[in-house]
Structure 1
Amino acid sequence: MNSARTGAAGLALTVLVAVGGCTLGGADAPQDATGRDDAVVDVPGDVTGAVTLQTWSLTPKYTAYVEGVIADFEATYPGTEVTWLDQPGDGYSEKVLAQAAAGELPDVTNLPPDFALPLAREGLIEDLSALDDTLADTYVPGAVDAYRYRGVEGVFGYPWYLTTDVNYWNTEMFEAAGLDPAAPPTSLEELVAQARTMKEATGAYLMSRKPGLGDFAAAGVPVLSADGTELTFNTPEAAAVLDVYRDAYAEGLLPDDVLTDAYLGNSRLFAEGRVAWSTGGGNFIDSVLADNPALEGKITASPSIGATPLYVQGVSVSSQSRNQLTALALARFLTSAANQEAFAQQVPGVFPSTASSQEDAAPAGGGDTPQDVAKQIAFSHLATAQVLQPVEVDEAMTTIINQQLAAAIAGDRSSQEALDAAVEECNRLLADQ
């Protein structure tokens, strides 16, 4: 879900005016082909005619699912015809920008929030909050907020499917250090304290990554101004968080190479059984065990420390669509609770964004294996999870931030100096977006 960031530079585009007065409401909607009444909506006009749906790298694995949804939509709305395009994973953001620049953006397009941002700024995708008065009540708040952009009024995507992170702990390493894996750290301070105990007892590492912008946001630090024009994470509170990591590194509680290009990464080291903590989605254990079956039965999960991060996929409606009513109906149909829940059953580790789905434990599955528990923890926090790193922060800014944080942790400059430098450099880039 951590997608490449894209900017809005180079968009010289013609924007067509949206259909005035078109809103969606679901009060008296008929049932869809699944027997649920949440996939279809009343619209002030006929839902008919041809539209195009574009997804991102879903073929061939999920071809049958998408084709089934399309068939149900066409059966629910006689006279409609959906053409499905699926683009490969590599270069997708550039493909979408090229389509938009050429006036060829599909009617409904799969866009994560960062890919949707430049199109929203240029008025190329619809403000769905102005067209669908059920939007805020239908999807979990954090997923809707993911498509709200500072400085741009509106909501520019229907949330589709979600993932979030939980903490994972190596129980064998905990027990070897005399720590209780059933009582893992719940705060940064506890994390450092248990890392110290583990290092002193066994020489092993519990902590194995440097912080990022999301760690400041998780700790409650405002990282972007309300109007979206300035990054604001150079606060004493953020410096205090960075100081904790700097002191832990100086104490030898993190691997020496964590600040270098030679660092293998926290997830890789965890999968190799070399560190005792990592973070990942609800199906992370499965990928770890595929790489290292020896860790079977040696992994436990717990909620994220601080605010829970949210990762969002969604669909947006082109403002250039010649068949807006049908495009809106299709986007809503695809992201209905019934269709999202069916998709979540096929895709390990993803969950529905629909609010009604959070009231039923079915999307999280049952059972009491470590994998089951991890998925249940991830699912149970969706209603309050948030996108922690602003989508306005692109790859160039992330590089600057990482360089400055590394300098602070290494002791080359103070935490406050590093944060001030990062904010100053990133705000220059932000002003050019």
Structure 2
Amino acid sequence: MPGTESSNRLTRTTRTTRRSTGRPTKRAAGLLAGAAAVALVLTGCASGNSSASGDSGKVTGTVTLQTWALTPTYSDYLKGVASSFEKKYPGTTVKLVDQPGDGYSDKVLSQASSNSLPDVINLPPDIALPLAKRGFLQDISKDDSTLKKTYVNGALSAYNYKGVDGTFGYPWYLNTDVDYWNKSMLSQCGLDPDNVPKTTDQLFEQAATMHAKCPDDYLMSRKPGLSDFSLAGVKILNSDGTKFTFANSSKAADLIDKYAKAYQNGYMPSSVLNSDYLGNSTLFTQTKVAWTTGGATAIADFEKNNPSLKGNIVVSPALDTPPLYVQGLSVSSKSKHIATAEALAKFMTNATNQEKFAHLVSIFPSTTSSQSDPYFSKDDGTTEAKARVLANKALKTAENLSPVEANDAMTTFLDQQIALAMKGQTTSKKALETAQTKMNTLLANG
């Protein structure tokens, strides 16, 4: 997130979530596909979550910290934290390594397959999953009883996986979505900018009102995905994470039918089902739709790309349950200095160091105590500050709405089937069954 490439990870204004375009960015697609590749290559690798021989349990020795696209922009910050750690724990040395954004999952794959993972690795939950399943990551909950009271619940649970006992990452930095609304479009089309939708049901209701008043304008511009199924109470995966089960619930088909009806009634642009769909944030910037989602700083991009939006944007909390985007630090179970690696990951993610980092870049700390920091919790009356405060508050209840087991190939196929159902070319039930069969085949193979 920090730095140009990193910012695409968590601060991008269009994500593959219940409120996004429904299409991942190329970068996100590569990461998800890379995670699947990791799983395939590691299948034959040795597993077992045991400490490397020679680890004394003392915080001493040399450990390597690998970050992801944070240098050179944040080199001074990283060097400062490493130096502070070495001063706190005499006899330790921290080696800093940073990998480029592109090809990161492939790099991690190569390191794991050659048993050369760094001691502490910057991993999002989806890339950590196959490594955790095959014993390459340390279960940090065995050695740290303070996790639950230190970190935001949703962020910590992102590193708990179905079918695997343990916690496989210290949450590092977070982001979530807030909702953005075009004030003028709402007012002109019979809607109240001071009473914007709070739920998906209210969104559909107001979309109908807008269409009746302004047939050529739109409030909605997206189709549903796995995260929407979660919000609808659909069980997406079985208990051990080995099979998708969403097609077994009538609620999933009912949800697609609801979107299909809205689409066929003209409540959203026809382009949402096309391969050249621009995404809801782009359409919002072009003032073709009145609603989008984005991170707490997205408003700056909207206004930069379309100055007419300045002073014309209303911000509100994300509909229903807010989504959670997580980056973390995992510890290699093969480290020669497990205790030192765990201490470093914990030190990097303590409240003081996270708050310093979050003041440098548009992210949020994963530590619960940081939520009271005035920088994140004080509203100075500007729309920008309100967005930041709303996002900070949302982290208390934000959840990972789409399972990390669902890689890009799976969600792309599901997306295609949902589009067919919304066009009326197949039934919602049949689309879900077809997608589930394909996704379970991919899951079993990877």
Same fold (TM over 0.5): yes
Alpha-carbon offset, residue 412 of structure 1? 1.0
Q: TM-score, normalised by structure 2?
A: 0.89
Separation in 1 of the partners of 2:71 and 2:378? Answer: 25
Q: 1:417 aligns with which of 422, 430, 434?
A: 430
Q: Is the CA contact 1:15–1:320 (under 8 Å) kept in the aligned structure 2?
A: no
Deviations 1:351-392 (A, max 9, x none): 111122224443345412111111111110112111011000
Alpha-carbon offset, residue 44 of structure 1? 8.5
1:159 aligns with 2:190: no
Separation in 1 of the partners of 2:419 and 2:321? Answer: 23
Q: Secondary structure at the match of 1:326?
A: helix
Separation in 2 of the partners of 1:17 and 1:379? Answer: 35
1:319 aligns with 2:333: yes
Separation in 2 of the partners of 1:46 and 1:256? Answer: 62
Q: 2:402 aligns with which of 374, 379, 389?
A: 389
1:346 aligns with 2:360: yes
Q: Secondary structure at the match of 1:214?
A: helix
Change (3 A) 1:17 1:264: closer
Name 1:271's counterpart in structure 2. 285
More helix by share: 2
Give 5+ residue unaligned stretches, structure 2. Answer: 1-9, 16-27
Q: What amino acid sits opposite 1:169 in the alignment?
A: W
Name 2:50's counterpart in structure 1. 18
Give 5+ residue unaligned stretches, structure 1. Answer: 23-42
Name 1:335's counterpart in structure 2. 349
Q: What amino acid sits opposite 2:102 in the alignment?
A: D
Separation in 2 of the partners of 1:58 and 1:360? Answer: 24
1:298 aligns with 2:312: yes
Deviations 1:180-203 (A, max 9, x none): 111111222321221122222222
Q: What amino acid sits opposite 1:248 in the alignment?
A: A
Q: Secondary structure at the match of 1:10?
A: helix
Q: TM-score, normalised by structure 1?
A: 0.91
Q: Superposition pairs for residues 221-300 of structure 1, below 5 Å?
A: 221-234=234-247, 235-300=249-314
Q: Secondary structure at the match of 2:41?
A: coil
Q: Secondary structure at the match of 2:197?
A: coil
Alpha-carbon offset, residue 170 of structure 1? 0.7
Separation in 1 of the partners of 2:68 and 2:112? Answer: 16
Q: Is the CA contact 1:219–1:307 (under 8 Å) kept in the aligned structure 2?
A: no
Structure 1 stretches of 4+ with a deviation exceeding 6 A read: none
Q: 2:83 aligns with which of 71, 74, 81?
A: 71
Alpha-carbon offset, residue 85 of structure 1? 0.5
What is the aligned residue count? 412
Separation in 1 of the partners of 2:376 and 2:132? Answer: 31
- Which stretch has the larger CA shift, 246-255 or 293-302? 293-302
Alpha-carbon offset, residue 169 of structure 1? 0.7
Q: Superposition pairs for residues 33-432 of structure 1, below 5 Å?
A: 45-202=57-214, 203-234=216-247, 235-348=249-362, 350-432=363-445
1:9 aligns with 2:40: yes
Separation in 1 of the partners of 2:272 and 2:377? Answer: 34
Q: Is the CA contact 1:15–1:319 (under 8 Å) kept in the aligned structure 2?
A: no
Q: Is the CA contact 1:345–1:363 (under 8 Å) kept in the aligned structure 2?
A: no
Name 1:37's counterpart in structure 2. none
Q: Secondary structure at the match of 1:161?
A: strand
Q: Is the CA contact 2:244–2:440 (under 8 Å) kept in the aligned structure 1?
A: yes
Deviations 1:287-334 (A, max 9, x none): 212211221111111122222110000010001101111111000000
Q: Is the CA contact 1:16–1:320 (under 8 Å) kept in the aligned structure 2?
A: no
Separation in 2 of the partners of 1:256 and 1:395? Answer: 24
Q: What amino acid sits opposite 2:122 in the alignment?
A: N
Q: What amino acid sits opposite 2:376 in the alignment?
A: P
Alpha-carbon offset, residue 137 of structure 1? 1.7
Q: Is the CA contact 1:231–1:426 (under 8 Å) kept in the aligned structure 2?
A: yes
Change (3 A) 1:138 1:262: same
Separation in 1 of the partners of 2:379 and 2:205? Answer: 34
Q: What amino acid sits opposite 1:170 in the alignment?
A: N
Q: What amino acid sits opposite 2:205 in the alignment?
A: A
Q: What amino acid sits opposite 1:388 in the alignment?
A: L
Separation in 1 of the partners of 2:429 and 2:320? Answer: 22
Alpha-carbon offset, residue 65 of structure 1? 1.1
Separation in 1 of the partners of 2:429 and 2:381? Answer: 45
- Identical residues among aligned pairs (%): 50
